Structure 1
């Protein structure tokens, strides 16, 4: 009998230890938050592509659920579109539900918690109408510019070709600008020259531009310590983090992005105030010494922009007055978190032509027409590689000995090129030596976002537009 009691005690202790480990693991990793991050991503994506882009929600859902991290949830993910409310709900068989609602000119905002989201009181149509004539070329033709050059036409054909099997490339739009002139473009069925398309992390380049504008105005500087109230304690090592270190993703904060659902950049999305969540991350290395890709770092910059501009409404006015209107980016749709802070890390939508206009700003060293938008030297700084990476400060770059930069150069993308990159193969390729901008937008779920296809497109476009004198050099 005593042996049985001993075994029972051992079993009970073991069961308690196991239960304790389960609870500790749950509290540490919070799988519920990862699942909420997934439903939030689905609700926001269907909302934006339905009510901003005007695309079919069923197709959007099918394509979204092919993404890594979401694919395994396909069988249990559910969504509902409410056209009258202009809202989308997503859940996992009714659990971990998320809701996103559309607001005119401001995209879709997620409902997080019981408190309703703050929606900026801004009339986007009035801001658009208040703009002067854009300083960049006005690509006014409502029809796509089909190239007469057979080689250029073949380059577009190849950009839209699909492989025999998955992963599919799903190219949605291609725009080619040479010497400031729109020379070729093509769109997938259902996409027009005016359709706003999701840029994902290409939005980080918009954040870079707004930081540049505020720097030109004397309100910010990359070299100053980031003005984050939560970091100002006398013994807080985070008070030494500079704006440029956040831009270069070398802050040393525990904000590494893995897209697993458990990382800070994924879980940031389930918080009403994204930046407030991100700024509480601890230091894991001295600032400036370690690089790790981090959307959460860029969202901290979005709050810094908001504060420097004077608030949510003032941020929107700044974006339209100083950036979108001068470039003629009439379709630009920034989206916001529940506090009215722009989602500076991702999720802006714009037409392919408007994304190309952003590329022209950087191709022109921050100047459009006779107007300087970005400070002198800003583009060079942004395109200069960070540490031993091929990332600059809001831009990716070929101006680096990194293996990825060298690989792109060997594939035909010039060594002086730099890029705005976004998830699923969103690309703005800026090539000063070619006086060229190439935009490719799509939904490619392969691991590298169809960079091989983009490199082929760039290589063939360059070959098709070379003059005999240029080709001989």
Structure 2
């Protein structure tokens, strides 16, 4: 490694000793763990070029300390190693069907047995397009796509990778970046939380869960434990009261946040989350943290059979296969729990198929997948989240507050709600327009490129009404 400029060395020292509320000793492993995991997934799940993915999707987040990172990709063994400032080294290993896992310091990557083969059944949701990308002919739709892919001359860039527009159950427009195709899996980041919402909803429909009953977390079973009162609904709505950092923003300083440490350092994410104390009485304070969703992911695993294989089989059988989602990888941690807060990769068309489930009130081809009323409840605003507009696993315009007003002002209808992930991942669902819009790619523009996505939504609606 070349000698680092004095200014960068000072910056690195400042980063690693800042925010004394958290453990500085864990910040460096989070950075290297993030780098190794995300590159492993990009290369072995999505087939992306590691150097381009690093440049577009990781380096802008690291900012000035990016110069302190190094990585190597071992294609033969399916692993990525990464270091940060010579202070931490992380290793991520690809496990077919289960994605990549943090294997730092362990000989085994938490080897998992794949689900038993099952008889393929036709999806309930039929074809939404042909094999080739759908090129619109209407000038207004073409112009809308052009605007969605407009790039800034200088950083911050939006790096749009895929856009899909579904109207009346058919793709009417889509476009992809040069190294992305209709089958390329793309990360949804926290849009994965909405998939966890669906898995919980399926278990509710099957009569295995009651979201208003206390969450079945064994570590909280003692009635004297104040966490005993936390409900599944409160975990979905991010008002459980758990003191486990925040997952709203992402920067290099996020390495100090316990929720990031949970995802990128710890082998058993749910075990870490269930140890978190209460900061507020359950139901009284909104705080968006991955810990809530990792506990929901453990509940899904426990109810689906208690193993990663059973959980993946459940997700495929009850959700992915029924929707015809063929290019999807839900990643698992080393303990066999889905990383349902942030780590699902799927093609843009698969993300769009997922959106159609919620567009149609949880019913596909006459079969109810989600309980009656589940979709509207998921899109109903949560008290305390007004500055952002959050429901139960989805972001929503259906309520008062600055978050909804901002999106509505820039072009999203008042009934819209969305699965949304960090740095510009969107699955926007608009029942009043019979419309699903997907936008994916590592956007570094303000507010995760929300203004441009809202503008694109408005332009699409206007084009369809004028067509």
Do they superpose with TM above 0.5?
A: yes
Give me the whole-angstrom Cα distance separating, in 2, the residues matched to 1:380 and 1:140: 28
Give me the whole-angstrom Cα distance separating, in 2, the residues matched to 1:296 and 1:234: 21
Is 1:299 paired with 2:288? no
User: Aligned-pair distance for 1:234?
Assistant: 3.3
Give me the whole-angstrom Cα distance separating, in 2, the residues matched to 1:441 and 1:82: 27
Query: Deviations along 1:38-63, whole A, 9 cap, x unmatched?
Result: 11111111111111111110011122
**Structural mapping, 1:33-44, within 5 Å:** 33-44=26-37
2:99 to 93, 102, 107: 107
Q: What does residue 145 of structure 2 align with?
A: 156
User: Aligned-pair distance for 1:95?
Assistant: 3.0
CA RMSD of aligned residues (A): 1.7
User: Aligned-pair distance for 1:244?
Assistant: 0.5
1:335 to 331, 335, 343: 331
Q: Give the TM-score of the pair, scaled to structure 2.
A: 0.91
Is 1:446 paired with 2:439? no
Contact 1:117 1:337 in 2 (8 A): no
Aligned residue pairs total: 441
Q: What does residue 434 of structure 1 align with?
A: 433
Q: What does residue 283 of structure 1 align with?
A: 278
Q: What does residue 110 of structure 2 align with?
A: 118
Query: Deviations along 1:141-184, whole A, 9 cap, x unmatched?
Result: 22100001111011001100112221111000000000111111
Contact 2:219 2:274 in 1 (8 A): yes
Is 1:90 paired with 2:89? no
Contact 2:22 2:257 in 1 (8 A): no
Q: What does residue 303 of structure 2 align with?
A: 308
User: Aligned-pair distance for 1:256?
Assistant: 3.0
Is 1:326 paired with 2:322? yes
Question: Judging changes above 3 Å, is the alpha-carbon distance between structure 1 residues 28 and 440 closer, same or farther for their aligned structure 2 residues?
Answer: closer
User: Aligned-pair distance for 1:93?
Assistant: 4.1
Q: What does residue 18 of structure 1 align with?
A: none
Give me the whole-angstrom Cα distance separating, in 2, the residues matched to 1:236 and 1:417: 38
2:313 to 296, 317, 321: 317
Q: What does residue 392 of structure 2 align with?
A: 393
1:274 to 269, 273, 290: 269
Query: Deviations along 1:86-138, whole A, 9 cap, x unmatched?
Result: 100011144311111112222111114436232331158x45xx332111131
Q: Runs ≥4 in structure 1, deviation > 6 angstroms?
A: 24-27
**Structural mapping, 1:225-240, within 5 Å:** 225-240=214-229
Give me the whole-angstrom Cα distance separating, in 2, the residues matched to 1:263 and 1:25: 12
Contact 1:112 1:272 in 2 (8 A): no
Contact 1:112 1:338 in 2 (8 A): no
Contact 2:149 2:160 in 1 (8 A): yes
User: Aligned-pair distance for 1:400?
Assistant: 1.1
Q: What does residue 212 of structure 1 align with?
A: 201
In structure 1, list runs of 5 or more residues that go unmatched: 1-23, 469-473
Instruction: Mark the structure with the bigger radius of gyration.
Output: 1
Query: Deviations along 1:342-392, whole A, 9 cap, x unmatched?
Result: 101011000000000000000000000111100000001100000042100
Query: Deviations along 1:303-347, whole A, 9 cap, x unmatched?
Result: 011111112221111100000000000111000101111101011
SS at match of 2:330: coil
Query: Deviations along 1:200-242, whole A, 9 cap, x unmatched?
Result: 0010011000000000111111111011111122321000000
Contact 2:92 2:104 in 1 (8 A): no
Q: Give the TM-score of the pair, scaled to structure 1.
A: 0.90
Contact 1:178 1:437 in 2 (8 A): yes
Contact 2:129 2:170 in 1 (8 A): no
User: Aligned-pair distance for 1:25?
Assistant: 9.2
SS at match of 2:81: strand
User: Aligned-pair distance for 1:394?
Assistant: 0.4
Contact 2:423 2:441 in 1 (8 A): yes
Give me the whole-angstrom Cα distance separating, in 2, the residues matched to 1:262 and 1:345: 18
Contact 1:388 1:402 in 2 (8 A): no
Give me the whole-angstrom Cα distance separating, in 2, the residues matched to 1:426 and 1:28: 30
Q: What does residue 3 of structure 2 align with?
A: none
Q: What does residue 78 of structure 1 align with?
A: 70
Question: Judging changes above 3 Å, is the alpha-carbon distance between structure 1 residues 115 and 257 closer, same or farther for their aligned structure 2 residues?
Answer: farther
Give me the whole-angstrom Cα distance separating, in 2, the residues matched to 1:355 and 1:224: 30
